[in-house]
Structure 1
Amino acid sequence: MHRITMGIGALLAMLTLAGCQTTQGLGQDISTAGEVIQQEGAEAM
């Protein structure tokens, strides 16, 4: 579980540091992060 949390934290940090120039880009980044979190959750079960 700790490994998943670290992976999610790293992903969110990368997205934050990369920054987005538009609201649409931010929405796409958040969507991508959500998909990764869902995949990690499904793999953990």
Structure 2
Amino acid sequence: MVRKTIMTAALVALALSAAGCNTVRGVGDDLESAADAVDEET
């Protein structure tokens, strides 16, 4: 039963991450931009 629940949660997480791929990519770009700005300040 626990294994089935974990598998279901993993599949849901995979589906959500695939659906939000563009959003996640945008967040990654924002984080990279922020990291570059911090690097330039130091």
TM-score band, normalised by the shorter chain?
0.5 to 0.7
Q: What's the C-alpha RMSD, in Å, of the aligned pairs?
A: 1.6
Q: TM-score normalized by structure 2?
A: 0.53
- Larger RCO: Structure 1 or Structure 2 (Cα < 8 Å, ≥ 6 residues apart)? 1
Structure with bigger gyration radius: 2
Q: Which runs of 5+ in 1 are unaligned?
A: 1-17
Segments of 4+ in structure 1 off by > 4 A?
A: none
% identical equivalent positions: 12
Q: TM-score normalized by structure 1?
A: 0.50
Greater helix proportion: 2
Q: Which runs of 5+ in 2 are unaligned?
A: 1-12
